[in-house]
Amino acid sequence: MEKNLPIKFFSKRTVDERNTEGMQGDPPDWVLSGNQLSQRASELRSIVEAQYAIFERRTNRHTEFIPAVLQVELKDDAIAKSYRSDVAVLFNENQEAINLIGFTGTNDLLIKVDTPNELKRVISRLDQPERARHSYGISAINSLKPFEPNIDIEDPAGRNLEISLINFQNFNVNKLVALFFEETCARLRIQFKRLNYSPDLINYKLLNVQADAITALREFEALREIEFMPEINIGYDDVIPTDKIEHPIKRPTPGKDYPIVGVLDSGIAEIDSLKPWLLPDRFTVYPETSVDRGHGTFVAGIIVYGDDLQGMNFTGVEGCYLYDATVIPRSTERIDQDELVDNIRRAIESKPEIRVWNLSLGTKTESHPNQFSKFGIALDEIQKRYNVIICKSAGNCINFLGSSPIPPSRIAVSADSLRSVVIGSVAHAKDIHDLADVNHPSPFSRVGKGPCFSTKPELVHYGGNAGKDSAGQLKKNGVKSFTIGNQIATDIGTSFSTPRVSAILSGLDHSIREAFDPQLIKALAIHSARYPSELSLPQVEKLRQVGFGIPSSVNEVLFNSSSEITLILQDNLEKGQYIEIMDFPFPESMVDDEGFYYGEIIVTAVASPLVDPNNGYEYCQSNLEIKLGTYDDYLKQDTTKSWVRNELKLSGTKNLLNNASYGSRFKNSNVGDFAKERLLLSYGDKYHPIKKYAVNLEEITPANKEKYLRAPKKWYLKVNGLYRDFITHQAKVHGELLSQEFCLLVTIRDKRHQDIYTEVTRLLETHNFVHSNIRLREQVRVRS
């Protein structure tokens, strides 16, 4: 069906803004009382008393300002933020103090104690265990001990090291700690460099450190971690030239604007095919003798010619201007992680008008399941600071080449960046030696999930196939691009699936005449993504291996047919409020002959996450909760009660995005057209900045169908912001108001092909929503 109707923005109304209700409830079962509580308080008291030794053994009066740090392990049942604040009450000096300074592992809090007198006051609180908040805090603690830094090195052998210092959440203390550490390095004759990963991290690079200096550094009282500085190396094999060595050169049409992609890579050669698309200026920190432009040229060729060379309409982008940002030297030269991060930062800063950047580089190290890498954290900070999107390759592995093949590795360090759009690879074709079927994950493509169950990769595209011959040698079935000699060649890798998505994102940004919003651009691409019909994997494996699927081409993203409509809600949701739209415009005509609502609903939410790199497993500090469904009516509440803050409350609600509502036989079914869309996920209390749901109301269980889909039901949409205790307490102390910017897309689709686009537009007007078509450039062409 022809798609020529633009997707729409709509806005919440004043009546849709609601205040978070107060809390009621009884103590949980794990809270101790009586003799058990007194005994536990006495045990903790003895441990705290022993911590006086931390202050007593200090012989250098210059370190008296450095707080002692305790590591508090919480019980599994007490990790919730409401109970964590009760633990903080035991240790906080007053309501203005922030003694809870971080989170490490999955259950461990870091608590600072500034002086011996503070220890005395902690003991006095433990002597009053029967007080309500004290009893909760005491019961929540599993163990308590002095913090010990993580030192992950053996023989430094002159290698560069990376040092992490504790962030005490106090500007003046941190400043003095950094100064004292630098003085210590100078005294030990250690060369050092302050790193710029994030303003919340205190990191140093130490050059050519000898073993005797490490012994002295181990005793530094604000030390959090010592590890080897990661080295970045881009291994670029010889490409395979094809028989056809020439291709018609595309040139920009005079007077026509094109998207721009910044290419953070090894450099782009000024070959005939790419020269018309290269911006006149470029970024580099390397002399010509240190540069090998092979990898960057291949990436750039896919951005501009990817559709043409493969003979497919993958992106729908006619061409992109290229900004050459040479951030890495030839593969024979070493580059440390901090240098690459600095180069990326400087390159993006040099061209602030470019909003989409391609980064097909990374490390060979697997991401950690429970913590985010400093490289990933740095990429997040760069994207937030400069308001850009980085498309990041998921990384490659060669596990399939072994004599006993093993499953693909997890995504690489740096691909764990929360704000980046991380791209994996699927196979475009299959030859005799290839291991992957068409439209299945490429054998070399690393998989998710990312740290803390984050969805990585988010998207995939075509990056080639591979296998091995009878001698066990690698056989490539690559995608096409250019060599530095302007020959057409083939190669494989997530490096070459990533630029296709970069072209789509840049094309979307260029096509839309709205202020640049990274949440909107990412949401549009992810919302459009589908699983190939050939992909026969269970849902959990689809998400782990190919994320949300392959994004559609630009025109497919921006337009609807008459039997569907896509609504966009952009907002900044403040803490303490939520959005609850009680007149959500679900089409009244989408009722079957038996009187039940039917249809397909796709919901995508992308938030700008609040993060704190000192909180390990809880790096992501904010979350969005999305509900869309039906209700019976709304009731008036008694607002004189202290916990009641809203006059109206919905009754008989059912969130139809809940996967428990749907028949089990559908959840992993790969049969039928909707298998390409279906996403029945339970995100639970996991903090995901990206969420997507795709449901078919005809797959709901009979009982739920009868209870919640019989017309005339009313429809609602609810968006609620959640925040972890750490950032909540910090905001309270500093007088800040927490909020999350987000973009929410909802598509409703009628497979019976009624004109619901017009109907929903009428409902928006009837219910007094401000709405408008997305504004597009005139040169955007609609294909039927």
pLDDT, mean of residues 691-703:
94
> Is position 468 within any domain?
yes
> CA-to-CA distance for 769 and 15, rounded, in angstroms?
11
pLDDT, mean of residues 524-540:
93
Buried b (16+ CB within 10 A) or exposed e, 636-671: eeeeeeeeeebeebbeebbbbbbbebbeeebeeebe
- What pTM value is reported for the model? 0.93
Residues 142 and 165 in one domain: no
Ranked by mean pLDDT, the top range of 26-40, 150-164, 358-372 is 358-372
Q: Tens digits of per-residue pLDDT, 46-55?
A: 888 887 877 7
Between 552 and 536, residue with greater pLDDT: 552
Give ∠ CA 60-65-68 in degrees, rounded to 5: 90
pLDDT, mean of residues 424-447:
96
CA 54 to chain centre: 39
* Amino acid making up residue 407: P
Residues 367 and 513 in one domain: yes
Residue percentage of the chain with pLDDT more than 90: 60
> CA-to-CA distance for 228 and 336, rounded, in angstroms?
10
Ranking 126-135, 221-230, 566-575 by mean pLDDT, the lowest is 126-135
Query: HSE (CB half, 13 Å, CA atoms) of 627?
Result: 18
Domain count, the chain: 3
Residues 396 and 499 in one domain: yes
Q: Range of 107's domain? A: 34-146
Residues 368 and 449 in one domain: yes
> CA-to-CA distance for 735 and 738, rounded, in angstroms?
10
- Of 546, 563, 589, which residue sits at a domain end? 546
Averaged pLDDT of the chain: 88
Is the separation of the CB atoms in 481 and 271 below 8 Å?
no
* Amino acid making up residue 444: F
CATH of the domain at 142: 3.30.70
Residues paired with 324 in a beta bridge: 263
Residues 141 and 173 in one domain: no
Place of tokens 């440390």: 336
Closest CA to 156 of 208, 217, 233: 208
Token couple for 279 = 């911006």
Is the separation of the CB atoms in 504 and 421 below 8 Å?
no
Ranking 151-155, 174-178, 540-544, 647-651 by mean pLDDT, the lowest is 647-651
Closest CA to 445 of 398, 504, 406: 398
- Of 146, 178, 206, which residue sits at a domain end? 146
> CA-to-CA distance for 344 and 327, rounded, in angstroms?
6
pLDDT, mean of residues 218-247:
76
Residues 258 and 353 in one domain: yes
Residues in the chain, total: 784
pLDDT of residue 659: 86
- Give me the helix-helix angle, 116-126 and 132-140, nearest 10°: 100
- Of 483, 515, 546, which residue sits at a domain end? 546
Q: Is the pLDDT of residue 784 over 50?
A: no
β 577-581/654-655 pair status: unpaired
Ranking 73-82, 95-104, 495-504 by mean pLDDT, the lowest is 73-82
Residues 117 and 177 in one domain: no
> Is position 3 within any domain?
no
pLDDT tier, 97 (very low <50, low <70, confident <90, very high otherwise): low
> Is position 244 within any domain?
yes
Q: Residue 660 carries which DSSP code?
A: G
Residues 187 and 325 in one domain: no
Residues 6+ apart with CB under 8 A from 160: 205, 206, 207, 208, 209, 228, 229, 336
pLDDT of residue 75: 82
